[in-house]
Chain A
Amino acid sequence: MNKPTKYRIILVLTVFGLLYGFVLMRLFFWQVVKAQDLRDQSRMQSYESLLVDSARGEILASDGFPLATNKPTFLVYANPKQISDRQEVSDALAPLLERDSASISALLKQDLFWVRLKSQIDGETRDKIQKLGIPGIGFEQESIRLYPEASMAAHMIGFVGKTEQGEDKGYFGVEGYYNEQLKGRPGRLYVVKDALGNPVISDVREEKKIDGRTLTLTIDRAVQFVVDRELKDGVQRYGAEGGSVIILESKTGKVLAASSVPNFDPQQYYEFEPNSYRSPLFSSLYEPGSTFKVLVMAAGINEKVVKPDTRCDICDKAVEISGYKIKTWNDQYYPNTTMTEVIQHSDNTGMVFVARKLGLEKFISYLDRFGIGSYTGIDVQGESSGIIRDRNTWLPIDLATASFGQGISITPIQLVTAVNAIANEGKMVKPHVVESIKTEKGKVINIETEVTSEPITKTTSEVMTWMMVNSVEKGESQWTKLPGYRVAGKTGTAQIPVAGHYDPTKTIASFVGFFPADDPKVTMLVLIDRPKSSIYGSETAAPVFFDIARNLVNYYNIKPNY
């Protein structure tokens, strides 16, 4: 082989080699580097992806009636290019869409193929628009959250609002607490398209939607209705700024009803002050006043430092501690009074006697046992726990005032849960709102009653029940009691701390109790916020308590005790 031939062969091989290398590089570029982009482009050209919304789970009352459900609504849109007489169409649609004709006309003037005229119109309005037979007008189905009972149990249910991304999200109450279970998971529908973009095969669902789970609440609609009505009447009657009622089933801790005034309508939550969304029953701390005495007395009896007939040797006058004078609420004193009478008269000096017998260590220990300063674990969003101060910061005056419910902050749900332990043979049960959860596959998960602790013995609970019955029969609220029924209860008139002192004219009047005392069915707490007609619990909260109790003994067919 001569030299030129050899060079020629080398040249040709080199050129082919370079070309081959170039092809390999391009193949690597398209198949490896740009693979994902091409895959996406291919998917975009051949598939159309549609989001399939999942239906949000319903929230049912204990009788199966929906307290929150979904209602189909419609979005009205127009294709301006198909509308010939803009003014005529605008005038026809204006009264049905409740918009002025000019604004509709302005929308139809746009050089677009699709404009939204109005969303969330109901089926009747859609039918009326359809009957007009206007070409270029269409509808898309939407869904809104419907609360058929309006503001009933609104604080327990919460509402559905939007996130910053425009997605539905539950806020407050059960809607907020169980949002993940209620919302489900949206699906995705991939529709195959031909070269011109027309759909070839429909309904090729690759990711199935999962509808939200249905929650059945422990809320009894009839009881809730009565509570709402009586509380509203009570707040109005006593010129109060607000009020709250919560009723637990004594043995299980199921919340049968919970109501607060002022309230809000979850359907139109945006028209109410955001402060009104939080339930004072779970989120607000207050000084419980005399209703707290039953817990301190229960601690004293449980520790055997006092008995119902133990006589108080400091109750003949105001008690002086560190320069402060502890008086009774009416400045009346009962020398050598028994512990039963201390609860009956709501005697502050008698409670100081009990607290001293208990001592700070045991006092704080019982606060902890009764769940004061801890979350009750109720399944609604926004529960507060409050804080019990560090043991080292307690002064003798703090122990004295805390014994009758001042200088200590708790939530109403903590108080009613703790008092419920007295009704429930000394067992604390976790309060809960959801009775069962039904999955998308129809499986029902029941929420079982959970006994969290046993702060007092059964004997102590029986003694305390008897003392509370005596308090109702002979105490300040006896005028309003339920004839024929033994009700265990205690009034409370909590002062409101304002700028370092207590406002003498503003109180939170309360009444906590359970009935029938022999075999408690319900435990109830009534709070009346800043009543004007009377500051006392016995004259405001107690009548509301017994008005509700009167309805409940009929509803549950509870026979009279005597």
Chain B
Amino acid sequence: MNKITFDKKTRTHKWFKISTIKVVVVLLILSALTLEGVNIFFSNRMATDSIVASKLKRELAVIVQENEILQAKVYELSSYESVASRAAEFGFKEPVSTISLNTPVQVARQ
């Protein structure tokens, strides 16, 4: 059986080892507690965020839907068929003849 020697250097070393373990344990406990705290903090925060996000998502869906409805209405109102019939209601008429100018026309001067 080996005999344990307690010279100064060894004792110092042992003390150092013991204190290091204590520090590590304490640090680990503190880390665990901190992480748990952070976890609880963010979980709570995210839990409320998700409610907000869901609400925003619902609002977005409604806006997208309204936008699609308006877009369809714009298409219907701006179609050539629709514009032509509205123009006719306002008394606009198609040109009956076209004049082509083959040579430049002298601009009238005041």
Contacts and interface: CB of A to CB of B under 8 A. Distances in A.
Given A123-B66, A141-B65, A146 B80 contact: no
A274 interface: no
Interface in B67-110: 68-69, 72, 75-76, 78-81, 84, 98, 100, 102
A520 interface: no
Given A484-B100, A560-B100, A150 B79 contact: yes
B102 A72 contact: no
A562 B102 CA distance: 8
Nearest to B80: A225
Contact of A146 (B66, B75, B81): B75
Contacts, number: 48
Contacts of B84: 225
Contacts of A562: 102
B72 A560 contact: no
A150 B75 contact: no
Contact of A149 (B69, B80, B100, B102): B80
A149 B79 contact: yes
Nearest to B102: A560
A135 interface: no
A152 B80 contact: yes
A483 B76 CA distance: 38
Interface stretch (A63-71, A168-176, A463-471, A490-498): A63-71
A150 B75 CA distance: 11
Contacts of B69: 71-72, 122-123
B98 A550 contact: yes
A352 B68 CA distance: 62
A554 interface: yes
Contact of B72 (A146, A222, A554): A146
Report, as a range, how many residues of chain A touch the other chain: 20 to 34
A483 B98 CA distance: 10
Contact of B76 (A148, A152, A221): A148
A100 B43 CA distance: 54
B98 A554 contact: yes
B65 A66 contact: no
Contacts of B98: 550, 553-554
B72 A149 contact: no
A265 to B, nearest CB: 11
A156 to B, nearest CB: 15
A152 B68 contact: no
Interface string B48-80: 000000000000000001101100100110111
A150 B79 CA distance: 9
B75 to A, nearest CB: 4
Nearest to A561: B102
A130 to B, nearest CB: 12
Contacts of B100: 483-484, 560
Contacts of A122: 69
Contacts of A221: 80
Contacts of A152: 79-81
Given A146-B76, A149-B81, A484 B65 contact: no
Nearest to B57: A203
Interface string A98-132: 00000000000000000000000011000000000
A307 B9 CA distance: 121
B75 A148 contact: yes
Contacts of B78: 65, 148
A73 B15 CA distance: 79
Interface in A131-174: 141, 146, 148-150, 152
Contact of A484 (B66, B68, B80, B102): B102
A122 B76 CA distance: 13
A69 B75 contact: yes
A69 B72 CA distance: 8
Nearest to A203: B57
A373 to B, nearest CB: 37
B81 A72 contact: no
A561 to B, nearest CB: 10
Interface of B: 65-66, 68-69, 72, 75-76, 78-81, 84, 98, 100, 102
27 contacts: A65-B79, A66-B75, A69-B72, A69-B75, A72-B69, A72-B72, A123-B66, A141-B65, A146-B76, A148-B72, A148-B75, A148-B76, A148-B78, A149-B79, A149-B80, A150-B81, A152-B81, A221-B80, A222-B80, A225-B80, A225-B84, A483-B100, A484-B100, A484-B102, A550-B98, A560-B102, A562-B102
Given A71-B69, A72-B69, 8 more contacts: A66-B75, A70-B68, A71-B72, A72-B72, A149-B80, A150-B79, A225-B80, A562-B102
